Amino acid sequence: MLRSLKQTWFSNVRGDVLSGLVVALALIPEAIAFSIIAGVDPQVGLYASFCIAVVIAFAGGRPGMISAATGAMALLMVTLVREHGLDYLMAATLLCGLLQIGAGFLRLGSLMRFVSRSVVTGFVNALAILIFMAQLPELTGVTWHVYAMTAAGLGIIYLFPYVPVIGRLIPSPLVCILTLTGVAIVLGLDIRTVGDMGQLPDTLPIFLWPDVPLSFETLTIILPYSAALAVVGLLESMMTATIVDDLTDTPSDKNRECKGQGLANIVAGLFGGMAGCAMIGQSVINVKSGGRTRLSTLIAGVVLLLMVVFLSDWVRQIPMAALVAVMIMVSIGTFSWDSLRNLRRYPLSTNIVMVATVIVVVFTHNLAYGVLAGVLLAALFFANKVGHYLHIDSTLDARGEHRTYQVIGQVFFSSADKFASAFDLREGLRTVTIDLSRAHFWDITAVAALDKVVVKFRREGTEVQVLGLNEASATIVDRFGVHDKPDAADPLAGH
């Protein structure tokens, strides 16, 4: 117990504390921006980010991953906030949390095993592109000072690690933010700062029960939004957990993460916050700054609240150019550059899945659509590939009256037509044996194809014997097949 506690909380104290500081600074403008997108006061996003980060530090299934208010979730809230107000958003957040906890108990986190590596790569590349695109408004129509500060920030981020001794002790993004803030204050530069993005709260969050009627009508209003928030939140969290797993070479508990995300959103909804989920950008910042355990996530949430409430005068002066430099670093570090080099080496189907995922996510700004498109394409390519691994041989006896067909491979919806067309139904034989000892029947389409072949043979006066069905195939054939049931209706009747 004590060893586990030390491993998950206190095995990397210095790195976790410093990385948590960096993440907290990077969370502030993001939370404000996402609040603006959702149409709510900036404190809603900031309170949500604090609540979610702190709760997920204890309840989440992926140590070192950062969860807070996110843009993907904010986009889903716009209509609800505009038409019904903040209280309905808080109620939808509570219901979203309950749905996510239910998903955890149903072990839906295990569904991540159906997401192929090419989909994950496409998801990562799309997010890297979106993170970079989100910085462009801060670099458009500005003075040269902003470009100089951003370039200087990138220089600090990439060169500071090479400074002897201290280069490896202090995260370069933290040095970038502190240095550029000091330069902007000393020189009195007239550039955009965190304070220009919105009013920071000056009080701690308090318990707030949503002021909405407890009625079926309220449920019909919030349920569609809550369901969408739950799905997108879990999807982004599961994908981010997979990425952090790869970055740290450690496993995570996806089902526990579902429950943790749900509990975090419930707490956020009860303290005046909006729904949130894992953030790939901030998670990458945390990992690359040295964060590894739950302590880094807790530090990020607590320091975020302390800074915006008690150190707001200093936080307001952080130049956006410093945070833009950090996020550009995240974008560059997140993008899978190997995926470009592997385009010529990998199969065409793999590349199509990856590129399709990127395109859909970038153009819709909806992670769920992109991942769904990638998973569907991957499934289609897989089904098509497996469908080709079906081979049917036949041998005719010396008298020319009996033929044995041996089926080798998988018979399902993709290969059923190939299976049916492999039999010469008008050969005029006395008997036919269909040997299925090296085949497997997966679905009712395959069973229907077997029924079709057997019934047509019998129509031609040929006696058919089906042999070798394995237990699983025999079960589905016995349940749905009709060729071996004398009293059953002819499946081809009317055709």
**459 and 347 part of one domain:** no
- The answer to whether residues 177 and 313 belong to one domain is yes
For residue 152, the number of C-alpha atoms closer than 13 Å in the C-beta half-sphere is: 20
Its pTM stands at 0.73
Could you tell me if residue 345 is inside a domain? Answer: yes
Across the range 55-70, mean pLDDT stands at: 92
Q: Are 39 and 73 in contact (CB under 8 A)?
A: no
Domain contains 340: yes
Bridge partners, 391 (sequence order): 408
- In this structure, the answer to whether residues 308 and 397 fall within a common structural domain is no
Query: Does residue 272 share a domain with residue 419?
Result: no
Claim to verify: residue 239 and residue 321 sit in the same structural domain: yes
The reply to whether 495 falls in a domain is: no
The beta strand positions in 239-385, using DSSP E, are 277-278
Q: Which helix (H) or strand (E) holds 28?
A: helix 13-38
Secondary structure element (H or E) that encloses residue 176, with its range: helix 172-187
Residues 93 and 148 in one domain: yes
445 neighbors 413 (Cβ within 8 angstroms): yes
Amino acid at position 400, single letter: G
214 within 8 A of 321, measured Cβ to Cβ:
no
pLDDT band for position 484 (50/70/90)?
A: low
Burial 343-360 (b: 16+ CB within 10 A, else e): eeeeeebbbbbbbbbbeb
Reported as a pLDDT band with limits 50, 70 and 90, residue 483 is low
Nearest alpha carbon to residue 51 among 226, 266, 197: 266
Nearest to residue 237, comparing CAs of 221, 257, 216? 257
Residue 489 belongs to some domain of the structure:
no
Q: Does 364 share its domain with 396?
A: no
Last residue of a domain, one of 333, 353, 378: 378
* pLDDT above 90 coverage of the chain, percent: 30
**What CA–CA distance (Å, rounded) separates 93 from 274?**
6
> At 438, is the pLDDT very low, low, confident or very high (cuts 50, 70, 90)?
very high
User: Residue 488: which pLDDT band, with cuts at 50, 70 and 90?
Assistant: very low
pLDDT for the residue numbered 489: 45
Residue 318 and residue 22: Cα distance in Å, rounded? 13
Q: Is the pLDDT of residue 305 over 70?
A: yes
Beta strands in 183-261 (DSSP E): none
Confidence at 486, pLDDT banded by 50, 70, 90: low
> Is residue 378 within 8 Å of residue 348, measured between CB atoms?
no
Range of the domain at 428: 390-480
**DSSP 8-state secondary structure symbol assigned to residue 460:** T
Residues 54 and 195 grouped into a single domain: yes
- Pairwise CA distance, residues 38 & 72, whole Å: 10
pLDDT for residue 318 is more than 90: no
Confidence band, pLDDT 50/70/90 cuts, at residue 405: very high
129 vs 127: CA distance, rounded Å: 5
Radius of gyration from C-alpha coordinates of the chain: 29
**pLDDT band (50, 70, 90) for residue 57:** very high
Does pLDDT of 74 surpass 70?
Answer: yes
Domain contains 460: yes
Any long-range contacts for 137-140 (C-beta under 8 Å, 24+ apart)?
A: 138/192, 138/320, 138/321, 138/324, 139/324
Q: Give the pLDDT band (50/70/90) at residue 342.
A: confident
144 versus 482: the higher-pLDDT residue is 144
**168-191 confidence digits (pLDDT tens):** 777 788 888 889 999 999 988 888
Residue 431 belongs to a domain: yes
Q: Are 373 and 463 part of one and the same domain?
A: no
Highest mean pLDDT among 1-15, 243-257, 475-489: 243-257
Band the pLDDT of 485: cuts 50, 70, 90.
Answer: low
How far apart are alpha carbons 73 and 229 in whole angstroms? 6
Find where tokens 């080496």 sit.
345
Range ranked top by mean pLDDT from 264-273, 326-335, 478-487: 264-273
Residue 78 gets the label, from left (phi > 0), alpha (psi -120 to 50) or beta, of alpha
* Residue 452 placed within a domain: yes
Span 368-394, average pLDDT: 87
pLDDT of residue 493: 47
Instruction: Enter the DSSP assignment of 273.
Output: -
Which pLDDT does position 12 carry in this prediction?
87
Most confidently predicted of 126-130, 196-200, 352-356, 471-475: 352-356
Range among 118-127, 128-137, 266-275, 427-436 with highest mean pLDDT value: 266-275
Number of domains in the chain: 2
Of 354, 378, 402, the residue at which a domain comes to its end is: 378
379 CB-near residues (< 8 Å, 6+ apart)? none
Q: Examine residue 263 and state whether it is found in any structural domain, yes or no.
A: yes
Q: Indicate which CATH number applies to the domain containing 463.
A: 3.30.750.24
